Amino acid sequence: MFNPREDVWVHSICDMCFAACGIVAHRKDVVLVKIEGDPDCPASAGKICAKGQAGLIGLYDPARVKVPLKRTNPNKGMGVDPGWQEISWDEAIDILTEKLRKIRQDDPRKLIISSFDQIALSYFIRPVWAIAYGTPNADWVGYFCGNYLHASMYLTNGAFHSDFDLDHCNYVILLGNQQGFMAGLNATVMARKMAEARRRGLRVVVVDPVGTNAAAKADEWLPIRPGTDGAFILSMINVLLNELDCYDRDFLATRTNAPYLVLGDGSYQKEEAGEKPLVWDQKSNRAVPFDQEGIQPALEGSFTVHGEPCRTAFELLREQVKNYPPEKAAAITTIPADTIRRIAKEFGAAARIGSTIMIDDQPLPYRPVAVNIYRGAGAHKHGTHTALAVQVLNMIVGAFYVPGGHRGPNLVGPAGQWQPGATKEGLITPPSAIGHGARYYDFEERVPEDLGLNELFPISTNRSPMYQMNLSQPNEFGLPYQPEALIVCRRNLLMNNTNPEAIAALLKRIPFIATFSTHLDETAEFADLVLPEAFYLERFDLFPNRPSHTMSHATGYFYWGLRQPVVKPIGQARRWIDVMLEVADRLGFLGDVYKMFNVKWGLKDPYKLDPNARYTMNELYDRWTKSLFGAERGIDWFKTHGYYKVRRTPQENYPGPFIKARFPMYFENMLRAKESVSKVAAKLGHKWDTSDYRALLDWKPCPAFENGTPPYDLFVVNFKIPFHALSVTTQNPWLNELAERNPYAYKILINTETAARKGVADGDEIWVESEAGKVKGTAKVTECIHPEVVGIAGVFGSWAEGKPVAKGKGVHFNSLLPLNMERIDPISSGVDSCIRVKVSRAA
Amino acid sequence: MKTQLHISYLGLVRNVIGRSEEDLDVLGDTTVGQLLRLLGDKHGSPFKQSVLKQSGELRAMAQVCINDRDIDELQGLETRLGEGEQVSIVVGVYPPEGG
């Protein structure tokens, strides 16, 4: 391996974003000279994006951290020189181990781990190492991307993400996302599929305040006022149900809880001696359990059951959305009422309700429409309701897990390895393999013991903003311990959270911080110990393409691959996972880690790990692959062949008709969550806003909607450009060159009319100021943004000395965002990422 | 007839009961649910609060595995335990990540 005078191509997997595309890397004379897409990978099929190609220059970045560093200056702050001193790995691990030993003996919950490293989060650190160590605080990740979304998906589609069937879809509404335009799940294959679908005639409608990359290529771009997407969707549902009478009656009656009978207090009417909700059977003209065979459930109507009046959930929804006539929604969203009616009509017609299609000789329902949501539409206060409304719209036309429609990734696992479950009410729950714990139907009224405050946000996958709240106000939620150590890898807390000065203040209070870093970034500047992290082209990661979470059906396969080192690590870089396993060994709990691997990875005999043995990473991966695929497919097979692939069956691609669980469009569980959260908050002595826990969907204005007093008269939002991912790519020289040549990447977008009103010309330096902070940048005057909005791309505007390429480039959007309880989604805890600002020319 | 089990406590439950494993003799044909009640009696309130809801069901963030297999994939709390089986009780299984 790594011999001079060799000329080889090596299978590996990109890590420049979460799409995890397969690559082949050309190594010549021990130097990486080219990266291309791996033709054998179902995700990339021989194609790779700009980020993927630019990985090469990132590998050889002279600014990388190459040796362990110890802080000598005890004073910490933004721009304060840490006084780094080079030390050996032995000394570094000694320091780390001793800190962690003392904390574990005292109270292991005092350790926080913050990372967005998908391999570590999925397989090693969060679900195994942290649990074996004993801390629940290993989940301080991002605040924005899908915080409100993932729980909404688990609740409605039983999976982690939102996706749709580009192989058959004819009409898609992209709501604050760019799926199919080099963003989102499996970006490369989705872009290819999108191009094929457009040739076939797929119509794309983008609803977004910013004329994004996707909007520029769409058939129609609807600029919407930020934070109002929910009103738009509820109005579309209103038009479909109450004006057009256009809905999939069979689907709603048999595959959702729309026919369930609901009492006046919002709860289900149930059997007198049982737990099953009742429906009204039109054949027998009486109330019967929802799952009784041979019935014909009524969708509409009012009935008296057990002496109590009740109505169907569908009828309640139908009445609820009458609150959103297009004229009212137009005033909220700025999308004209006739446009809302037209889009709803086009969507309903394109759904072809009642039609079927033959897939592998099987007739399946054919609903070639979808509305797809991601960060832009939901990263607002009340964002959970927006995401749930989107799901209900997909259900209204039956476009749910059938050809052409919405689907979550991999509800049914390969060869039936996993299947969704169902509650006693018959509603879908995620398979344990993809959402253990994400079953949002019963709740615990106990005082939280984790920094995320799990019990105060029981319908959420991630409560990272609460870490910040707890750290900045240590006594606010009565946790019986105070954090004493923070370990960070692949997560830039200062760049990617809210205003960095607030983050800096709380980091200064944590007694010990260790970061595993490729660069001395803004967060590493606050560390006591910096350990050189391996770049992905030097790393060994199994299954970055996670079949359970982020692998789109669009790939056509279930597939498993290996990220393997293409070159030797530069300097003394090591993978942090290896280091953490060594620390576990020194602390005496590596055996517990191995036991957890046996559980987490589902290892079978004879490949189970012996808690008393010691294994190299190669041996661990060899056992895992052999346990899954047999003795002939160990790690060496993957190194040589790249991928093991299994073509998906129709049942795996379109599980809707093949599963029994129903999809909820009425959220009775929210009422129980409300009660539970109220009790937990009361135990903590808090008044808590539980008004979003509603069984029926609603739209409520986020703070920015209501705060438009001049001079803070504009909204600011950020948006994604396809050749950067989070802040980790900003230091890449080639991607920086692309951004410098892109008209929008490093600029502040302002609408032509708005700019004229404020006396701003294209190229002017301008200030954008919110209640939390101010940023300066170059104005890009454009028609490609809503007139009430200014737009800032990505996560630029770095200031760390250790990122010389990124430093000072672009504008740091998050500086404008505060964090407080008024500005989070009360269900998911996602941070509202639009705020009012004033814009002025810089002197 | 007695059945011997090896029990591993992993994650947050270890913090509260102060041990990471033990061997235990139970009656033959004991179910997982019965075992959890036995352990609740043995280790008291800290164990019960860490692993179980008041109703006796598993907490959402708790997981029980028999020979490293999640009881969700077996017969849940009704899964019967056999001689020499390894029982892992894990607390701290949060839902998968999301930013």
Q: What sign for the dihedral angle of Cα A251, A256, A262, A266?
A: negative
Residue A497 has pLDDT above 60, yes or no: yes
Instruction: Kindly report, residue by residue over A153-209, the tens digit of the pLDDT.
Output: 999 999 999 999 999 999 999 999 999 999 988 999 999 999 999 999 999 999 999
Asked if A176 and A378 touch (Cβ cutoff 8 Å), the reply is: yes
Contact residues, chain A, for B70 at CB < 8 Å: 432, 436, 599
Residue A684 carries which DSSP code?
Answer: T
Contact residues, chain A, for B68 at CB < 8 Å: 595, 598-599, 602-603, 608
pLDDT value at position A4?
80
pLDDT value at position A765?
98
pLDDT value at position A141?
87
Residue A814 contacts B, CB cutoff 8 Å: no
Which of B20, B93, B98 is the closest to A592 by Cβ?
B20
Residue A662 carries which DSSP code?
Answer: B
Question: For chain B, how long is the longest CA-to-CA vector?
Answer: 51
Which of A154, A446, A461 is the closest to B97 by Cβ?
A461
DSSP A720-740: --TT--TTTTTT-HHHHHHHH
Residue A774 has pLDDT above 90, yes or no: yes
Using alpha carbons, list the distances in angstroms from residue A491 to A116, A350, A374, A728. Answer: 6, 42, 21, 8
Q: What is the mean pLDDT of residues A2-6?
A: 82
Phi and psi for A762 in degrees, rounded to 5? -55, 130
Say whether B96 and A434 touch across the interface (CB within 8 A): yes
Say whether A462 and B99 touch across the interface (CB within 8 A): yes
Mutation choice for A interface testing from B73, B75, B94 by most A CBs within 10 A: B94
Residue B11 contacts A, CB cutoff 8 Å: yes
Residue B75 contacts A, CB cutoff 8 Å: no
Instruction: Kindly report, residue by residue over A330-350, the tens digit of the pLDDT.
Output: 999 999 999 999 999 999 999
**A:B CB pairs within 8 Å:** 115
Residue B92 contacts A, CB cutoff 8 Å: yes
- CA-based nearest distance B28→chain A, Å: 24
Contact residues, chain B, for A109 at CB < 8 Å: 15
Residue B6 contacts A, CB cutoff 8 Å: no
Rounded CA gap, A461 and A229, in Å? 22
Residue A109 contacts B, CB cutoff 8 Å: yes
What ipTM goes with this model?
Answer: 0.90
Mean pLDDT of chain A: 95
Beta-carbon count within 10 A of A400 CB: 26
Helix (H) / strand (E) containing A364: strand A362-365
Rounded CA gap, A262 and A309, in Å? 9
pLDDT value at position A434?
83
Residue A518 contacts B, CB cutoff 8 Å: no
- CA-based nearest distance B24→chain A, Å: 18
Say whether A132 and B10 touch across the interface (CB within 8 A): yes
Residue B78 contacts A, CB cutoff 8 Å: no
Residue A538 carries which DSSP code?
Answer: G
User: For residue A452, what are its two tokens?
Assistant: 């995320």
Candidate from A9-18, A435-444, A626-635 with smallest mean pLDDT: A435-444
CA A437 to chain centre: 17
Residue A433 binned pLDDT confidence (cut-offs 50, 70, 90): confident
Radius of gyration of chain A (CA): 26
Rounded CA gap, A402 and A650, in Å? 10
pLDDT value at position B11?
86
Residue B5 binned pLDDT confidence (cut-offs 50, 70, 90): very high
Please give the residue of chain A at the shortest CA–CA distance from B9: A592
DSSP A425-482: TSBEE--HHHHTT--TT----S---STT-GGGS-S-S--HHHHHHHHHSTTTT--SS-
Say whether B98 and A461 touch across the interface (CB within 8 A): yes
Instruction: Kindly report, residue by residue over B10-43, the tens digit of the pLDDT.
Output: 888 988 898 889 999 999 889 999 999 999 999 9
CA A287 to chain centre: 41
Residue A179 contacts B, CB cutoff 8 Å: no
Using alpha carbons, list the distances in angstroms from residue B77 to A256, A840, B31, B66. Answer: 28, 64, 7, 11
SS3 per residue for A414-437: HHHCCCCEECCCCEEECCHHHHCC
| Cα dihedral A207/A160/A725/A572 (nearest 10) | 180
Amino acid identity for residue B64 in this structure: V
Please give the residue of chain B at the shortest CA–CA distance from A598: B68
pLDDT value at position A521?
97
Rounded CA gap, A90 and A300, in Å? 71
Rounded CA gap, B42 and A718, in Å? 55
User: For residue A772, what are its two tokens?
Assistant: 């939390």
Which of A107, A444, A589 is the closest to B59 by Cβ?
A444
Residue B73 contacts A, CB cutoff 8 Å: yes
Mutation choice for B interface testing from A17, A147, A440, A599 by most B CBs within 10 A: A599
CA A840 to chain centre: 34
pTM above 0.80, yes or no: yes
**Tokens 């808690």 belong to which residue?**
A611
Residues near A109 by beta carbon (within 8 Å), at least 6 away in sequence: A134, A135, A136, A137, A449, A450, A481, B15
Query: Domains of chain A by range and CATH?
Result: 69-144+442-536 (3.40.50.740), 149-414+662-671 (3.40.228.10), 703-841 (2.40.40.20)
Residue B96 has pLDDT above 70, yes or no: no
What residue segments make up the domains of chain B, in order of their start? Answer: 2-91
User: For residue A623, what are its two tokens?
Assistant: 């056992």
DSSP B32-93: HHHHHHHHHHHH-HHHHHHHB-TTSSBPTTEEEEETTEEGGGTTGGGPBP-TT-EEEEEE--
Contact residues, chain B, for A454 at CB < 8 Å: 61, 94
- CA-based nearest distance B41→chain A, Å: 21
Say whether B95 and A596 touch across the interface (CB within 8 A): no
Using alpha carbons, list the distances in angstroms from residue A765 to A119, A693, A719, A746, B44. Answer: 41, 44, 20, 12, 66
User: For residue A608, what are its two tokens?
Assistant: 């189970």
Residue A420 binned pLDDT confidence (cut-offs 50, 70, 90): very high
pLDDT value at position A210?
98
Please give the residue of chain B at the shortest CA–CA distance from A593: B10
Residue A463 contacts B, CB cutoff 8 Å: no
Residue A648 binned pLDDT confidence (cut-offs 50, 70, 90): very high
Residue A188 carries which DSSP code?
Answer: H
Instruction: Kindly report, residue by residue over A107-127, the tens digit of the pLDDT.
Output: 999 999 999 998 898 899 998
Instruction: Kindly report, residue by residue over A552-609, the tens digit of the pLDDT.
Output: 999 999 999 999 999 999 999 999 999 999 999 999 999 999 999 998 888 999 999 9
User: For residue A221, what are its two tokens?
Assistant: 């771009």
Candidate from A616-625, A673-682, A724-733 with smallest mean pLDDT: A724-733
Q: What is the CATH class of B2-91?
A: alpha beta
Residue A549 contacts B, CB cutoff 8 Å: yes
Asked if A263 and A308 touch (Cβ cutoff 8 Å), the reply is: yes
Asked if A170 and A404 touch (Cβ cutoff 8 Å), the reply is: yes
pLDDT value at position A398?
98
Contact residues, chain A, for B98 at CB < 8 Å: 141, 145-147, 149-151, 160, 461-462
pLDDT value at position A1?
65
Rounded CA gap, A596 and A129, in Å? 8
Residue A22 has pLDDT above 60, yes or no: yes
Contact residues, chain A, for B46 at CB < 8 Å: none
Instruction: Kindly report, residue by residue over A706-734, the tens digit of the pLDDT.
Output: 888 999 999 999 999 999 998 889 999 99
Q: What is the mean pLDDT of residues A522-530?
A: 98
Contact residues, chain B, for A602 at CB < 8 Å: 68-69
Amino acid identity for residue A735 in this structure: L
pLDDT value at position A5?
85
Residue A114, beta-bridge partner list: A488
Asked if A106 and B59 touch (Cβ cutoff 8 Å), the reply is: no
CA A577 to chain centre: 23
- CA-based nearest distance A235→chain B, Å: 29
Residue A669 contacts B, CB cutoff 8 Å: no
- CA-based nearest distance A433→chain B, Å: 10
